[in-house]
A and B are shown apart, each in its own frame.
Chain A
Amino acid sequence: MRTYVLRRLLGAIPLLFGASLLIFLVFALTPGDFIDGNINLTPQRAAELKALYGLDRPLWARYLGWLSQLLHGDLGFSLQHQIPVSTLLGQYLWSSFLLALVSLLLYWTLSLAVGVLAAVRPYSWFDRVVTLLVFAAMSFPVFFLCLLLIKWFAVDLGWLPVGGMISIGSNATGWDYALDVARHMVLPVLTLVMLQAGGLTRYVRASMLDALAMDCVRTARAKGLPERVVILRHALRNALLPLIALLGFELPGLFAGAIVTEKIFNWPGVGHIHIDTLAARDYPVLMSFTLLLAVLTIVGNLLADVLSALADPRIRLR
């Protein structure tokens, strides 16, 4: 097991370098740089500024400079925000994480429960209703769903705030603060759960149907075990194996920021600044954040593999 993990870790290193090169090239080769976007600069001033920011250096020098900075643990300095990238991400990352984590917990719980119930009685009225709802929720355009929820719950009923993370001018701390944030979270979380739960429910249902058809399940039933035990202990455990890989993929999603949902609900998440920095060509932020997501994707995969190996000895042998 230890060599397995070690092998996977070593394998991730060239992957990271490859990712960093790719990320650098994608952004550096996009037409226009941080200075080009300013329509009002005289050519002389633009040249002065490019030199100040080092944008006049050749590509390889810029890449190596960035890489050595990274290896020293420095994510760089945002051109646009004029603060260290780590500070900037810190301001927005955790609100995205909070939103994503709460939604994740909710839609995994919901999907598991509903998916299992639907699989146990396939093609029953319950299964059919679930399928209908799931497809309805999945096929809603995000922005429309957001606006609909805002119209109903914030404007017409006035129960919940239209957007933001805290009330205007609020100086609340402690529990009051937590309650305030929770109130503001209800609608965005509801949106994310509705959007994500659909696909996952289908996965769980399919995986569970496969598991229920396994020989071990038939054996368990033949042994005369109660149906509850058969389903929860024998079938569900087997059904969860393929879902572990899926859970691994969720890791980068926890930090990536739900761009559309965050934007519409004015949630101070990292999705906003990602888009803004792309428009402004704020390279240090763009590259560091994208690299962070790449690292999380690799780590997520690694974790999924290790967890699968722990849960299923057959994988370890390979």
Chain B
Amino acid sequence: MPTHSPFLRRLLAAAVAAGVLAASAQADVIAATNPSAIPAQAKARKDTIVGAISAPQGIFNPYLFSNGWDENVTEVIFGRLVGLDAQGKLRAEQAESWQVSKDGLQYTLKLRKGLKFSDGSPFTADDVAFTLTFLHDPAYDGGTDISLAKIKGGDAYKAGKASSVEGIKVLNPQTIQITVTEPGATTLQLIGGPVLSRAWYGRGYQPGKLDDLRQYSSKPLGAGPYIYDKFVPGQEVRFHANPYYFAGKPAVPNFIYRITSDATKLQLFQTGETDLEGFSINADNIEQLKALGFANLNIYNSSDYSLIEFNHNKPALKDVRVRQALTYALDRKKLVDVVYQGYGSVATLPLSPVSWAYDTKGVNPYNFDPAKAAALLDQAGWKLGSDGIREKGGQKLVVTLLATKSLFNDALIPIAKENFKRVGVELRPEVSDFNALLAKRKAGNFDLATFRTSGLNDPHDGVARFRSTENEVGYKNAQVDKLINAGNGTLDIGKRKAIYHQLYQVLANDAPLILLANRKLLYVNSSRIGNYQPDVFNGIFGSLPKLKIQY
């Protein structure tokens, strides 16, 4: 999954393409009990696998799409130089190997031998250079923010002061060297993404003018496992196997992403119209799917977390005791039980339990404790008023909560309202759509805001929001900044693990937000499909090239 392209990754987190999966060591598989129950319609499809997707829009360029479903389509067509394994560690794909200099400022990527795009044309370091230079185009309006990689000379090129990006150097057709000005643990994922062919995309491209390149969004050319055939808007996206794929031509000749929606995805799967599908996780769905007999249920931890953010610009919430009190006051266990019915857990770290950096030892879990919450509020000088609401200096402790309309919030709002009331805090929810929520949040017009992060590939992605340079709600803590920079400044997993463990403890004490829940995801495959081993970092892409049709 393109880790660097953050645009609407939250949609991905909503997890719709069948196969954008979460994996963990504790992956839970409920195997099909009656594989012979495969519907005839599916059985008749000897050479095609049908996956499910929610709403692709037809922008099949890995750097220009605007929603996560188009991203899922581009993964199939393009592949990546550097990918992730099931634990989120870097994995060689189209790049055979890479070296990082000691100071973390120089990255040398070596491509596999004989690499070709799906039209048979050579795939060289020059194409990588073209891709990375294109991302620095001042007119580039896609979701990838290459400036986060801090490539040397990138700003000068963007400002029109240089004709090329100084830090991008093609050493030979198989090797490219990238020089950056700041080390970054996520830089390799950013520069090791999908590659655009210069011969195809660069034909009419003039720096500063994207129109020509944009027209190839409907005629994509990549080096991924499948070749794009056709997009039928509102219906499906079709592919056929790429004979030039670096790991060998996939065994199944055709792949189709069928567009499905929540209302009928079960019926489509049941009648055999789809082979792979993702479902909301709850007891009902699991029962119904198990009853089909031919469905393998894969239950995974997702890589995102839900949260309630504090507006640190509000005087009341600047006081760490108030923030801690509100965290203690909320019965998150009840929330998780109600919403996820056993398929989720209270979040303790700003990270998925899947990650290699997950370690809760010594981190305050903030178990539900209204008495402690009340004591903290007392200490902070908020005294109970006659109406049961706390006040201080004539000011009532009334907090607004921005939320979107969702099943999760349908449970969160009443629980939080009741819990807060109990400790003398009045909660006023404001429900709007996501876009309006973010706009109100940006305007600073709120006390609390709740939402879910996008899928997080690296521990850094989960904490970047706390860095004072990136925080939009006024949170500042010099020690946190230092630890985040340290964690992102090295690629050594052992060192990073220790740094993040310390960071999580500091963050927990400072309570910059209320962590709510880590959820699980439910992905299902028809038992006719073999070798399906999805994971949260690769989704369907991890096993797509190896899939086979067994029945």
Contacts and interface: CB of A to CB of B under 8 A. Distances in A.
A53 interface: yes
A31 B271 contact: no
Contacts of B50: 168-169
B436 A32 contact: yes
A279 interface: yes
A235 to B, nearest CB: 44
Nearest to A164: B235
B434 A169 contact: no
A82 interface: yes
Interface stretch (B178-186, B258-266, B353-361): B258-266
Nearest to B236: A168
A37 interface: yes
Given A32-B436, A38-B8, A81-B57, A280 B66 contact: yes
Given A52-B141, A263-B263, A266-B260, A33 B271 contact: no
A161 B268 CA distance: 9
B473 to A, nearest CB: 12
Contact of A95 (B57, B234, B261): B234
B10 A40 contact: yes
Interface string B265-277: 0011011010000
Contacts of B454: 39-40
A296 interface: no
Secondary structure at the A interface, as helix, strand, loop or mixed, is loop
Interface string A136-158: 00000001001100110011001
Contacts of A79: 66
B238 interface: yes
B302 interface: no
Nearest to B260: A266
Contacts of B434: 37, 279
A142 to B, nearest CB: 11
B143 interface: yes
B48 interface: yes
Q: Which of B139, B218, B267, B437 has the most CB of A within 10 A?
A: B267
B59 A81 contact: yes
Given A38-B8, A38-B143, A43-B472, A263 B261 contact: yes
B64 interface: yes
Interface in A78-97: 79-83, 91-92, 95
B57 A31 contact: no
B438 A81 contact: no
Interface string B428-445: 000011111111101000
A269 B234 CA distance: 7
Contacts of B533: none
A92 B234 contact: yes
A110 interface: no
A80 B141 CA distance: 11
B416 to A, nearest CB: 21
Interface in B54-92: 55, 57-59, 64, 66-67
B145 interface: yes
A261 to B, nearest CB: 11
Nearest to A91: B233
B436 A82 contact: no
B217 interface: yes
Nearest to B461: A40
Contact of A32 (B55, B66, B233, B439): B439
Interface in B123-148: 139, 141, 143, 145, 147-148
B256 A169 contact: yes
Contacts of B48: 168-169
Interface string A11-26: 0000000000000000
Given A80-B66, A82-B64, A92-B234, A264 B261 contact: yes
Given A36-B439, A39-B10, A279-B433, A155 B263 contact: no
A266 to B, nearest CB: 6
- 8 closest A-B pairs (Cβ-Cβ)? A268-B234, A40-B6, A32-B435, A32-B439, A31-B436, A37-B435, A31-B439, A91-B233
21 contacts: A31-B435, A32-B435, A32-B438, A36-B438, A39-B438, A43-B470, A44-B147, A49-B141, A80-B66, A82-B217, A150-B264, A162-B264, A162-B271, A164-B258, A164-B259, A169-B50, A169-B238, A263-B261, A263-B263, A265-B264, A276-B55
Given A38-B143, A168-B236, A169-B236, 10 more contacts: A36-B435, A39-B451, A40-B9, A52-B139, A91-B233, A147-B263, A155-B271, A166-B235, A264-B261, A266-B235
